Amino acid sequence: MSSVTVSSSPVVSVQISSSLNSFVAEKRFNRGITLAEFKCKLELVVGSPASCMDLQLFSTDNVFLQNLDQDDALLGSYPVDNGCRIHVIDKSGARIGEFEDLSGVEKFEISKESYEKRTDSVRSFMKKNKIGKFNEEEMAQITAENARKLEEERVAADSITSGARCEVRVIGQPTKRGTVMYVGRTDFKPGYWVGVQYDEPFGKNDGSVGSKRYFTCSPKYGAFVKPQHVSVGDYPEEDYSLDDEM
């Protein structure tokens, strides 16, 4: 008689691996389904037909426990716990990685000129109904709004001087103090940005983003923020020492 696993949760989260694929997927299943039903659900996960599956159960420590070989038994009648791995062995004759290799899939391609001439395409529909970039009035409003925001950023950036002490206030984040190290346009995002060297390691970089360096500081001390979030003034460095705390 097979052992029965008693659990207060009707749902179990398990790792699914397969002889057909290199990936491992984490899925949740109801313990009350039969193994036959379970195999049908696994078809969508591993790509193997349910009738061609053998199932093996491994513990959370990756130790083989037993075969799941009774199709009419409930999944919960086996010692399937959260974090266990169920390995699917495919018997259909498919090759390993067959369902991951897309090189042999026939692709439909169409030239840009031919696509423009089609009357049943998404582009044609958008043109006809003046949606998105095909709505000149809407695009003009977006362009004007972007220009207005850029001008506001430029004005705010002009009031910030490199080398000045500052305080950075971003909604949803704690207030941080530091020194302005860079003011201007950047390559990583449009608009105007202020490079700040924080007094404490509250940043995301060392003054460089990608392959370009804008200023130099210790790792995790540098950050780039929008000018409207930066206030320049007499902001002394705060004392974060814990020596006086008990």
Q: Are 42 and 22 in contact (CB under 8 A)?
A: no
- What does the pLDDT look like over 37-89, one tens digit per residue? 999 999 888 888 889 999 999 998 899 999 999 999 999 999 999 999 999 99
Q: Any idea where the domains of the chain sit in the sequence? A: 11-90, 165-232
CATH 3.10.20.90 is the classification of domain 11-90 = yes
Task: Write the DSSP string, 90-128.
Answer: E-S-PPTTTTT--TTS------HHHHHH-SSSHHHHHHH
- What does the pLDDT look like over 198-241, one tens digit per residue? 999 999 999 999 999 999 999 999 999 999 999 999 999 876 55
| Domain 165-232 class in CATH | mainly beta
